[in-house]
Amino acid sequence: MVVGLVPPEEQEKLYNRLIEYYKKLYPGMVFRREDRKLRKEQLGELYYTYSGEETESTAAEKMKMINTAIGHGYSTPIIVLRKTKDKKDILIDGHRRVRVAWMLGLEWPAILIIPETETTFGIEAMITGKVKDVYSKE
């Protein structure tokens, strides 16, 4: 594994931490997991959230590493919060992987977190737009 890339086992740990965090924030809510591959069109429809402070040059460098690693089988899943009633798929983790996969027109594995009860999640305030709209200029 290339240094700086998220290995699948770390992503699994992050998923478990996120579920525990959401259970604390939203007591009594049940979350279901679904693993699937998302096509380019589905990646473009993801609601992109603010990914934190990072210079564009650092992001570009990391995306170049991801692009190279894909040729060697790299495919750590992204994590998506799926709101079924609102029909919103919100990107929680894997921002650079999504950008690379979307730009290359690839399918990408995703771990979907699906709440059984509809609610407004705090992460929704951090949505900057859909991937296809935010990065269509690239």
Q: Answer whether 0.75 is exceeded by the pTM.
A: yes
Query: To 5 degrees, how large is the angle CA 15–CA 129–CA 26?
Result: 40
Residues 57-76: pLDDT tens digits? 788 889 999 999 999 999 99
Domain ranges of the chain: 29-134
Give the integer Cα–Cα distance in Å for 85 and 90: 13
Bridge partner residues of 83 (DSSP): 88
Rama region for 5: left / alpha / beta (φ>0; ψ in -120 to 50; rest): beta
Give the integer Cα–Cα distance in Å for 81 and 54: 23
Res 2: pLDDT = 54
Res 59: pLDDT = 83
Res 137: pLDDT = 59
Q: Name the residue type at position 93.
A: D
Q: What is the CATH number of domain 29-134?
A: 3.90.1530
> Tokens for 106?
């690839």
User: What sign results for the dihedral spanned by CA atoms 83, 87, 88, 89?
Assistant: positive
Res 51: pLDDT = 72
